[in-house]
Chain A
């Protein structure tokens, strides 16, 4: 019998290695697997590369990992969101590297990795400072920039409901980066509020099919306000 549920947050993040690339979905404070990020902090992996839209807030989750010196690099579109003092301090101290990527390019690079493709040409950022050092090519008269796929060693996904096969549904705009991150990592770990019986989720409405999911842990959402 397939049962992807694990019993603890510790088991959910077991085995993350130093130097791992961690996909961290979420937009602002919405759709973030806060419990899994805390568990990753406790797990201890360091020299991490984080892929996220923002750069963490306050001193929890991603910000706490940064404050503890565990993050080597952040790949994101907009670090300047909310109380990003943890990131700012590390950025000014040059203790971490920032790779700034246009927002849609981040998710498409992950989708590309998920789809087994070697990259894509995008008109976004072509001819700008963010395209410096990248291959640029005119396609049908328009300048494009080559973007590489972006694959994670682990994705820390937040969903509303899961069944034991790992089929997932989300809530409202908390969906955001979660489905694409779930597809783009070697190991996809999901934090959910509720497990439901197999067959309960409407097959027409499953957003992430279980094939992309490796581990599921049930956890009360942390009450964090940023």
Chain B
């Protein structure tokens, strides 16, 4: 495939990716945010919407990081960072926190990933590094339980190789679960008809995006150009 070398585009920052995912969270949604880029999403929900964030360690109605002087060492998020509780929030014990995840009580689970396949297979728990013990945490629970699973990840790996693949090369977290992928270049929906590009960043073309993606991409019927806000943070 030939790529137009004169094309000019600026990939989204992690915060801009989180901004884009946040725009899709509707009023009243219950949402779990995975560790990494998804965690940033809570800061970008439009002020007019009430969205309730769930944390696997037993917080329903999680707010943002504490202001100086308001830190409480007994209130942390899934990444073990200090957090806060919003008005109306509550605490639950661990088995109930995961009942909410596994039982389909969450509307969205936003996750980071190493790889996603064209069928929506998700690999985000192990790279099989023999030097270190594996860790799964809540990844497999989060990947099967929520009503809709969405992934936020950089489009390519550090070597520029595609992370959206025909078939995941790392062990699966769950098969056929991902419905939407937010990358630093595009928003892509996983559909029975294949991968549909819903939005691309300014200056990106389908040809360039395709060159960085293994499976075939198609423009979605309602395709739009993405209009990201100026670089945040």
Q: Which residues of A contact B (CB under 8 A)?
A: 27-31, 55, 77-82, 87-88, 91, 98, 100-105, 107-108, 110-111, 122-130, 170-180, 207
Contact = CB atoms under 8 A, between A and B. Distances in A.
7 contacts: A78-B137, A81-B135, A129-B171, A172-B75, A173-B55, A176-B93, A178-B93
Contacts of A100: 133-136
Q: In the A-B complex, list the 9 residue pairs whose CB atoms are closest, starting with the nearest.
A: A104-B98, A28-B80, A104-B141, A78-B137, A179-B93, A78-B135, A107-B95, A103-B138, A174-B74
A102 B95 CA distance: 12
Given A27-B57, A108-B95, A108-B98, A173 B75 contact: yes
Contact of B57 (A79, A124, A130, A173): A173
Contacts of A103: 56, 98, 136-138, 141
Given A124-B145, A173-B76, A78 B136 contact: yes
Interface of B: 55-59, 72-76, 80, 85, 91-95, 97-99, 101-102, 126, 132-141, 144-145, 171-175
Given A175-B58, A176-B57, A125 B140 contact: yes
Given A78-B135, A81-B80, A173-B75, 19 more contacts: A30-B73, A87-B133, A101-B136, A102-B137, A103-B56, A104-B56, A104-B99, A124-B140, A127-B172, A128-B140, A128-B171, A128-B173, A128-B174, A130-B136, A171-B74, A173-B57, A173-B74, A177-B93, A180-B93
B141 A105 contact: yes
Given A30-B74, A110-B95, A127-B172, A104 B101 contact: yes
